[in-house]
Chains A and B, each alone.
Chain A
């Protein structure tokens, strides 16, 4: 298996633009997690899904952020409009079952908002 796939790996955009980050889960995994990593705030959980259903989105910073799972193997994280403070590395991770199972992380998307 190729592991969790994220695209793009790097994104540079200007303030006010829409940004869409993409994630493909490992086949057969049922849980999907979106994280954001910055020097100041460390690694933060933004939202997670079980069986395509959002379970906890309390980490989503504000209404500018939205996440979807249109099917069992794919997810998007959208920021509209983007701001410089959104600059970070965004990771998605998947696991077979939430809770005790290992989360497999993708390589991350480094987002820079100018």
Chain B
């Protein structure tokens, strides 16, 4: 079985400051890793994903994440946030083997303050 832990439920940050949203996972099999973002009253949309290869993955809106196999982590970072980045962010894993099943973390609310 797989599980995902997002260590912070809320992260307040000032505009133009850097931010890191933490994600750790547990799995007995290889997994693919994803970050999704949910803006208020909307569905989720993909920010980035790690399937294989380079452990540093770049996504949309200036976000990036680094896969660390030894620490089973996939933290999301952005060097300078904007007010428009205020949203809920979900880390997710999917067992390899093309099952398509995503297991989500509880989410982290990023609050960007002016």
Contacts and interface: CB of A to CB of B under 8 A. Distances in A.
Interface in A68-114: 91, 93, 95, 97-108
What interface size band does chain B fall in? 20 to 34
Contacts, number: 64
Contact of A100 (B41, B42, B51): B51
A103 B107 contact: no
B102 interface: yes
What interface size band does chain A fall in? 20 to 34
B97 A43 contact: no
Given A93-B43, A108-B43, A99 B104 contact: no
Best-surrounded residue of A45, A91, A95, A99 (most CB of chain B within 10 A): A99
B90 A48 contact: no
Given A43-B90, A100-B51, A105 B45 contact: yes
A4 interface: yes
A40 B94 CA distance: 22
A64 to B, nearest CB: 22
Nearest to A6: B43
B92 to A, nearest CB: 9
A72 to B, nearest CB: 16
Interface of A: 4, 31, 33, 42-45, 48, 50, 55-56, 91, 93, 95, 97-108
